[in-house]
Amino acid sequence: MEALLAELRAAVNAELVWSLVQALLILLVGFVLSRIVRSRSAAVLQRLGLETYSGILVVSASWLVLAIAVAAALQHLGFDLSVILGAAGVFSVAIGFASQTSFSNVISGLFLAMERSFSVGDVIKVGTTMGEVLSVDLLSVKLRTFDNLYVRIPNEVLVKGEITNLSRFPIRRADFVLIVPYGEDLDRVRDLLMELAMREPLAMVEPKPVFQILSTSELGVQLQFSVWAARERFLDMKTATQIGIREALDDAGIAHPLPRRVLVHEPPPGTEPTAG
Amino acid sequence: MIEEERVAATGDWWGDFTLEEERSALWRAGTLALRVTRQQSEWRMAWRSEPDEAAPAMTATVPAEDLDDTWELRRYGFSTTTAVGRLVPALSDRTIVSRPAIPVAVPPGQSIDLVVTTPLWLRAECEGLAINELPTLRLSDTWFGASTREGQLCYAARTHLRPARELGEVSGWRALTTVRVINRAADTLVVERLALPVPRLALYRHRDAFWTSTITLERPLESSEEAQVTVDPAPPGPGAVRIGEPRETADEHPVSRVFNSLFG
């Protein structure tokens, strides 16, 4: 009887050891697969033009593979996954409450990856922050501003708010708003500005510059002169044209109207105005 | 024979030039003023844009001197410099969009040879290396494409689209391109602007002028078909000497696309 029990125990132990070995093998395969996903998916994402978001996508994919391997290994050992998942559910609710913001950022990062609104190297504006995108990570996007500050913006903020990508299109338009005094010949002003744009090599001939009257104010007529430039030369064009406008208007004797106040001194009633 | 005497004798302002140490050679072409200076271990290039256009010429060699800040200056260091440099004409690095002063109409079934001129670039080569390139006329940027999202960055130029037979005197700092326009469609083709894919053309010296490869533009009978654009690999005329290779390799499709917009 004892011998039979010992034999039975040995058989059970052998089966358990064998199951453990198999579970470990499953884990090992899962781990290797996860490493492969991590190393190879970067190249695949680059081919798909998603390299900017590879940080989020690669980590998510490799974790998913690893999680499936762990679940398969546990199931192989005879664990009831539904019980484990139930327990995990309760646990994850607790964790979820504690790390709600982080999960929101991860999910927002996946939405950003799907939308592809910007890439690493693009210049974007989020709220009042403008800068070059350094990286798009699991929880946040890192920017370098033009005054060389490092700014971290949570993915959630980017999904919820407005993003302006200044690098998406190859050409950009600069709008110059100026005020000319009432009585000035607006046709003459338009000709001056158009001639200026023709002279400035960085200002594009086409799309043509646009001259329009915006409004009238107490100072004079408010105009907008819009000129296009290649994205890379935008700032150079903007500066050169701004200086050119000032010089052209000065040379033509068109003054920039300044706020004027007329002070009228009236003597108190009953007194005679004094001379001098 | 000093350098300017050689230039005066041959009339060639381009090609090899010799320059002693601490001396500068001066060129004018179009609105470009160029000054190349040789020193013991460096070449210096200075350039600026002049208000007036001038025929291309090597004007003088003079002692090296300090220049005022109207010149843009660049220095190129070498372990040692030799006396011989080279200045060669080249074609633009971007497509040039030409707007004729008066649009040219080509009636149905007709073909016409038009000549378009484009400014040359000058490439300086020292110690066997191309060190700098400058346009003889600074052209404005322009955009050529269906929308502000898709298209290509080009240079803009105004031109006289002259029939080949009426070609008058041409500035020596410009290259001539013959564009053969064939209109097989049932309606008149009006050439209001022409995007010349200059970087795909070779440069030739022919009849004392600079010529490029000839371009043929054929508008098909059916408006739904793409225009056929071909760059003729043959020289523009007998005796033409090839002096510059295309900057970009021939690729029919993008050229066709560029010219398609012409009909839009």
Summarised one tens digit per residue, pLDDT across range B101-145 is 788 899 999 999 989 999 999 999 988 899 999 999 999 999 998
- CA closest to A237 among chain B residues: B141
Contact B143 A171 (CB under 8 A): yes
Give the percent of chain B with pLDDT over 90: 41
Least confident of A72-86, B115-129, B143-157: A72-86
Digit-coded pLDDT (tens) for B165-218:
667 777 889 999 999 999 998 889 888 888 899 999 999 998 888 999 999 988
Least confident of A109-118, A163-172, B126-135: A109-118
- Bridge partners (DSSP) of residue B158 are B99
Residue A42 Cα, gap to closest chain B Cα (Å):
28
Distance CA B113, CA A65 (A): 67
CA-to-CA separations, A31 to A37, A63, B26, B157, in angstroms, rounded: 10, 10, 70, 63
- Work out the pLDDT band at A44, boundaries 50, 70, 90: confident
Residue B74 Cα, gap to closest chain A Cα (Å):
20
Q: Is the pLDDT of residue A276 over 50?
A: no
Contact B143 A201 (CB under 8 A): no
- State the DSSP H helix or E strand holding residue B5, giving kind and residue range, or none if neither: helix B3-10
- Work out the pLDDT band at A196, boundaries 50, 70, 90: very high
- Work out the pLDDT band at B246, boundaries 50, 70, 90: very high
**What is the average pLDDT value for chain A, to the nearest integer?**
85
**What is the average pLDDT value for chain B, to the nearest integer?**
84
CB pairs under 8 A between A and B: 42
Digit-coded pLDDT (tens) for A144-159:
999 999 999 999 999 9
Tell me what pLDDT residue A68 has: 87
Task: Find the radius of gyration of the CA atoms of chain A.
Answer: 35
Q: Which two tokens stand for residue B94?
A: 């971007």
CB < 8 Å from B in window 4-33 of A? none
Task: Find the radius of gyration of the CA atoms of chain B.
Answer: 20
Distance CA B106, CA A64 (A): 65
- Bridge partners (DSSP) of residue B61 are B25
Q: Is the pLDDT of residue A43 over 90?
A: no
Contacts 24+ apart (CB under 8 A), A49-53: A49/A116, A50/A113, A50/A116, A51/A119, A51/A120, A52/A113, A52/A116, A52/A118, A52/A119, A52/A120, A52/A133, A52/A136, A53/A109, A53/A112, A53/A113, A53/A116, A53/A136
Mean pLDDT of A36-45: 80
Tell me what pLDDT residue A19 has: 84
Tell me what pLDDT residue B264 has: 35
- Work out the pLDDT band at B222, boundaries 50, 70, 90: confident
Q: Across the interface, which of A171, A201, A230 has its CB nearest the CB of B138? A: A201
CB < 8 Å from B in window 232-251 of A? 233
Which residues of chain B lie closer than 8 angstroms to A201, CB-CB?
A: 138-141
For A205, how many CA atoms within 13 A lie in the half-sphere containing its CB?
A: 19
A206 touches chain B (CB under 8 A): yes
Spans of all domains in chain B: 4-88, 96-260
Q: Which of B143, B147, B192 is the mutation pick for testing A, counting most A CBs within 10 A?
A: B143
Q: Across the interface, which of B138, B139, B141 has its CB nearest the CB of A230? A: B141
Residue A201 DSSP one-character state: T
ipTM over 0.90: no
Distance CA B103, CA A130 (A): 45
Residue A252 Cα, gap to closest chain B Cα (Å):
21
- CA closest to B153 among chain A residues: A230
A196 touches chain B (CB under 8 A): no
A208 touches chain B (CB under 8 A): no
Which residues of chain B lie closer than 8 angstroms to A198, CB-CB?
A: 140
Residue B156 Cα, gap to closest chain A Cα (Å):
7
- CA closest to B98 among chain A residues: A205
Tell me what pLDDT residue B263 has: 42
Tell me what pLDDT residue A207 has: 92
B96 touches chain A (CB under 8 A): no
- Work out the pLDDT band at A49, boundaries 50, 70, 90: confident
Contact B148 A203 (CB under 8 A): no
DSSP helix/strand/coil, A87: helix
